[in-house]
């Protein structure tokens, strides 16, 4: 019996762009995943608390406000202090190339920016979870 992949989609801070994240939520649901969306304006603490309680396979953060380089370090810190450092973290939205490079160094597994076809997002998450294996 294989369980559907569980994903938490989060919007952090003042960023009010939610079109993309809602499209992603539907695409993942239609691909058979269980999706929990935090809604807008959450803090990193709230997002990590939710991700840990829900024990999601993937924490996906959508950011179009330019604050990725302050948000992701906090998220990784909080995941560590919660003993949840095996969680797969991905990012989406709008951000410059150099940030993408640094985010990946920090531990973000994939960054999927504007115009990524939904199917590619589905395939990427499926792959990441398969690679991780049982938990």
Helix, strand or coil for residue 114?
coil
Question: Taking the CA atoms of the chain, what radius of gyration do you get in angstroms?
Answer: 13
Under the binding rule (CB under 6 A), the answer on residue 73 touching ligand B12 is no
List 23, 55, 96, 119, residue binding other proteins (CB under 8 A): 55
Print burial letters for 7-35: b (CB count within 10 Å at least 16), e (below 16).
bbbbbbbebeebebbeebbebbeebebeb
55 binds, among other proteins, ligand B12, none (CB under 5 to 8 A by kind): other proteins
List 2, 14, 97, 98, residue binding ligand B12 (CB under 6 A): 14
| Distance (Å, whole) CA 10 – CA 21 | 8
> In the complex with ligand B12, which residue's Cβ is closer, 18 or 34?
18
Q: Which residues bind other proteins (CB under 8 A)?
A: 1, 3-4, 6, 25-26, 28-39, 42-43, 45-46, 49-50, 52-55, 82-86, 134-135
């Amino acid at each position: 019996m294989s369980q559907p992949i569980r994903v938490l989609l989060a919007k952090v801070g003042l960023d009010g762009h939610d079109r993309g994240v809602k499209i992603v939520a539907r695409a993942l649901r239609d691909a058979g995943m269980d999706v929990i969306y935090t809604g807008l304006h959450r803090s990193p603490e709230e997002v990590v608390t939710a991700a840990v309680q829900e024990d999601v396979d993937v924490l996906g953060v959508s950011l179009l406000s330019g604050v990725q380089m302050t948000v992701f370090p906090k998220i990784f810190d909080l995941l560590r202090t919660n003993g949840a450092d095996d969680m797969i973290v991905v990012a989406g939205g709008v951000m410059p190339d150099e940030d993408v490079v640094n985010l990946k160094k920090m531990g973000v597994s994939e960054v999927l920016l504007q115009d990524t076809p939904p199917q590619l997002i589905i395939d990427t998450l499926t792959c990441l979870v398969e690679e991780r294996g049982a938990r």
